[in-house]
Amino acid sequence: LGAGIQGRVDELDRTLRDGESAGADRAAAVATAQRELEEAEEAEKRARDEVAAAKAEQKDAIDATSTANTELVNCTAENATVLSAKEEKAMAVDNFTNYNLAAFRMLRDGQAEEDADAKKEAAPADA
């Protein structure tokens, strides 16, 4: 009986020692898992911060694009007005030039005819 009890005590001792080493291994695994969890939580926080910063930059870019599009519309309208005014001025200059050139040609051609008539009249008188 004493040997049986001693054998059982020895067996339970071995089980406890094995359990202690397994418990230490599990405690180390839990500590490692805890560190990994903390690192993952920090990485998640950094990722959330980066996403928030990226969304803020995206909003700024959208606002800048909207402002640029508004300016483009304004410039396009202003450009159309300026081009229309330019065309009107160009037509006025062309009309002015063509009218004055036509008047000059009429005067010149009329003067040339008068000179030719005067030469014709003078030529028979000389002969």
Handedness of CA 116, 117, 121, 122 (dihedral sign): negative
Rounded to whole angstroms, the Cα distance separating 55 from 17 reads 56
What does the mean pLDDT of the chain come to? 88
Judged against a pLDDT cut of 70, whether residue 126 lies above it is answered with no
pLDDT per residue as tens digits for the range 3-44: 788 888 888 888 877 777 777 888 899 999 999 999 999 999
In this structure, the dihedral spanned by the alpha carbons of residues 17, 19, 22 and 23, taken in order and rounded to 10 degrees, is -110
- This prediction's pTM: 0.48
pLDDT per residue as tens digits for the range 49-74: 999 999 999 999 999 999 999 999 99
pLDDT per residue as tens digits for the range 20-29: 777 788 889 9
Identify the residue whose tokens are 């519309």: 73
Read off the DSSP letter of residue 127: -
Predicted pLDDT at 17: 79
Predicted pLDDT at 96: 93
> Diameter of the chain by CA atoms?
178
* Environment class of 47 (CB within 10 Å of its CB; exposed 0-12, middle 13-18, buried 19+): exposed
